[in-house]
């Protein structure tokens, strides 16, 4: 296994895996695949990582700012997607733990994730990596005409922002 940064060059692999997540209807409210420019603009420059095995991307994770306000500069939202073939093999756990490590190296003290309530696999993954449920948002949005509930999960760093 090898961790590599997400770049414009490997973005087609990111989109392939993201498309697999879209197909589940339990990963995101989005229905369309973003362009590189859209994706790049919406994510932090740091903490964009992917996991490879034998030159094949298995999963990716990245952080998005939750606010443009300076007070929230150390708070970011997690996106993590595992390819269909790599699911159930602890790839997500390895990648999320690496993302946590890199986030702390970049002075991020809080990570949050909004997860569809029915996506128990993602909820359990986040719990394994130290996230806790801090909220439940009932019928917060619609996916293909169906109202969805989300669980808000959070992980506070034990080494950044504790003073």
Domain boundaries, the chain: 2-112
Condensed to tens digits (0 to 9), the pLDDT of residues 99-119 reads 999 999 999 999 999 999 999
Q: Are 62 and 74 in contact (CB under 8 A)?
A: no
Please state the CATH superfamily assignment of the domain spanning residues 2-112 in this structure.
Answer: Gcn5-related N-acetyltransferase (GNAT) (3.40.630.30)
> Which DSSP helix (H) or strand (E) runs through 36?
helix 36-42
Three-class secondary structure of residue 139 per DSSP: strand
Paired tokens of 92: 């997500």
Question: Is pLDDT at 145 greater than 80 in this prediction?
Answer: yes
DSSP string, 69-105: SGGGTTEEEEEEEE-GGGTTTTHHHHHHHHHHHHHHH
pLDDT of residue 17: 97
Mean pLDDT of the chain: 94
> Which DSSP helix (H) or strand (E) runs through 123?
helix 120-128
> pLDDT band at residue 15, thresholds of 50, 70 and 90?
very high
pLDDT of residue 38: 96
DSSP 153: E
Paired tokens of 123: 């909820």
pLDDT of residue 163: 59
Return d(Cα 47, Cα 146) in angstroms, integer. 32
Cα dist from 34 to 13, 39, 159, 162, whole Å: 13, 6, 34, 36
The total number of residues shown for the chain amounts to 163
pLDDT of residue 79: 96
**Of 51 and 68, the one with more pLDDT:** 51
pLDDT of residue 26: 86
Condensed to tens digits (0 to 9), the pLDDT of residues 43-63 reads 999 999 999 999 999 999 999
Condensed to tens digits (0 to 9), the pLDDT of residues 69-100 reads 988 889 999 999 999 999 989 999 999 999 99
* Over residues 24-52, mean pLDDT: 94
> Which DSSP helix (H) or strand (E) runs through 116?
strand 110-116
Return d(Cα 3, Cα 97) in angstroms, integer. 12
The model carries a pTM of 0.93
């Amino acid at each position: 296994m090898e961790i590599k940064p997400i770049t414009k060059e490997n973005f087609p692999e990111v989109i392939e895996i993201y498309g697999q997540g879209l197909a589940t209807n339990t990963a995101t409210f989005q229905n369309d695949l973003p362009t590189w420019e859209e994706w790049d603009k919406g994510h932090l420059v740091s903490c964009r990582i992917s996991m490879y095995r034998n030159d094949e991307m298995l999963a990716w994770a990245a952080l998005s700012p939750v606010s443009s306000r300076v007070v929230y500069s150390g708070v970011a939202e997690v996106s993590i997607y595992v390819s269909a073939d790599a699911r159930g093999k602890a790839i997500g756990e390895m990648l999320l733990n690496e993302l946590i490590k890199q986030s702390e190296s970049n002075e991020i003290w809080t990570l949050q994730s909004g997860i569809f309530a029915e996506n128990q696999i993602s909820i359990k993954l986040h719990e394994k990596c130290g996230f806790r449920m801090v909220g439940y948002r009932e019928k917060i949005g619609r996916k293909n005409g169906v109202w969805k509930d989300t669980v808000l999960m959070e992980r506070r760093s034990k080494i950044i922002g504790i003073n």
